[in-house]
Structure 1
Amino acid sequence: MTQPRIAIILGTTRATRFADVPAGWLLEQAAARGDMAVELLDLRDYPMPFFDETASNAWVPSQNEIARAWQRKVAEFDGYVFVTAEYNRSIPAVLKNALDYAYPEWNRKPAAFLGYGSVGGARAVEQLRLICVELQMAPTRTGVHLQGADFLAAWQEGRPLDDLPYLAPNAATMLDELHWWASALSRARAETGG
């Protein structure tokens, strides 16, 4: 079997976002494994308007060309890692919008999560897990959570993420789970035609 293709999705587009730091770190961790092809997907590259289609693309093709480009890109992957901040106990609106603009492209694929914020983005990740279930994705158990003082030290003081002893083991476990699910679900999709 070929290596599963994994997208690491930067879940915020703010000019002052921190997402680039953990996403870049995770990309290095995943690439070093050598058992998956990994690519960063930046929502800044897909400036979709707030969802304004007749219905989900599960039922009606999207009219917006950027949304169609997003759907084609999402469809290329066997699994995803969502890198998300926590905004008011939830995910950024731009990430929810991107999730809403695709449906069949997400189906029967695994989702993993890297959250950051005061409680490691845990509340955002929990909501994201529920959204992923509705999109017929398989959320993995283990996530990576950059929390509290560690998040502030990395964001405001530039502390390297490699200095945080809990991150690499959590990322390794998360990526192991993601690889297993991406491989298994890819085979199952191939066998069943979907």
Structure 2
Amino acid sequence: MTIQVEINDEMMEAKPGELLLSVARRNAAHIGFYCDGYGLCTMCECRILSGADQLNPPTEAEHTWLPPERMAEGYRLGCQTSLRGVGPVKVLTRAEELRRQFGAVLRPPAGTTTTDNLGPFASNVAMVNWEHIGTFPFNLFRTLRRIGPVKFLLPVRDLNLFVNDTVRITQRMIEDASKPIPAPPKPAVTPELDTQRPLVKQTQSGGTPQV
């Protein structure tokens, strides 16, 4: 069985239980990553535009790093978010969202001005920084307790895979650089997320969560 997942306006196939980060990396989608799925770096943050009810509830790692307001807007960590249903899911990665917002500041879409687009971009950047600063140092302490000192200090399990995926995504970005930057999506009302901590345990990146 395959599930249709749309990441950054590109349709991709995924397997039940697969992590959004794994789907994005396999298809060289523009997504940030460093910690290989431990919920440490938060670079893989995504915004769920639709299909939130097809995903697992937020994990302990997401409660540690993402403010409730951020999750209420549909933001999740790609390394913690797995496909639990069979319905379609539409996702915009934080890396791509910021790229589009910054592009709209430099080259405002028709009917908008640089000033119009600067506000959303600055607000998003500020919220990204607040995710870390606002909960410091408890976010680090909780993460260290959750994953242990070895994974905390050495978050990349497979260096070759890390390098290969980074190169593939970078090449993809270079190839797409000459194409028009899609307009940033307007804020949408997403289904209310279950912010209660679930009794789930995520496996390594690319694996299937265990209940």
- Could you state the TM-score of these two structures normalised by the residue count of structure 2? 0.30
- Could you state the TM-score of these two structures normalised by the residue count of structure 1? 0.32
Q: Using CA pairs under 8 Å that are at least 6 residues apart, name the structure with larger relative contact order, 1 or 2.
A: 2
